[in-house]
Amino acid sequence: MSKRRDGVGVGVVNGCLYALGGNDSSASNPNFSRFDCVERYDPKTDTWTMVAPMSVPRSEVGVCVLGDRLMAVGGYDGQQCLTLVEAYDPHLNEWEPVAPLKTGRAGLCVAVVKNLTQ
């Protein structure tokens, strides 16, 4: 990767690994920066590429795949836990906001459960 990252979110879509956000130092250092950038690793070409950034720099973002989109859920922007949820379309290389969380969350695990019946 081009950036060293702590508190990074990761997910896999279409056979590529994505590294979302994070920060450039340990949480014990009060002067570290958070990232909005996203990098994609393609194992077929063994290369990392920067893709469209998220709308807000954040670390500890939850990540999952829903359909063919990568979901970035919550995170921490240095001031607060976020309610922000964004969806990344790898075909268009674009992020779009989706319905926010009711309560800000960071460091969360996110999973998609298919075919639930009630």
Structurally, the chain folds into a number of domains equal to 1
User: Which pLDDT score, from 0 to 100, does residue 58 have?
Assistant: 96
Using an 8 Å Cβ cutoff, are 16 and 25 in contact? no
**Is 105 part of any domain?**
no
**Is 107 part of any domain?**
no
**Is 50 part of any domain?**
yes
Label residue 13 exposed, middle or buried (CB < 10 Å: 0-12, 13-18, 19+). Answer: buried
pTM score above 0.85: yes
User: Which pLDDT score, from 0 to 100, does residue 30 have?
Assistant: 67
Strand spans (E) along 67-109: 69-73, 85-89, 94-98
Domain extent at residue 13:
5-98
Average pLDDT for 70-94: 96
47 vs 113 pLDDT, higher one: 47
Using an 8 Å Cβ cutoff, are 26 and 43 in contact? no
- In the block, tokens 């990392």 appear at 48
**What are the tens digits of pLDDT across the range 19-28?**
999 998 765 6
**What are the tens digits of pLDDT across the range 26-81?**
656 667 789 999 999 999 999 999 999 999 999 999 999 999 999 999 999 989 99
**Is 109 part of any domain?**
no
**Is 89 part of any domain?**
yes
User: Which pLDDT score, from 0 to 100, does residue 117 have?
Assistant: 66
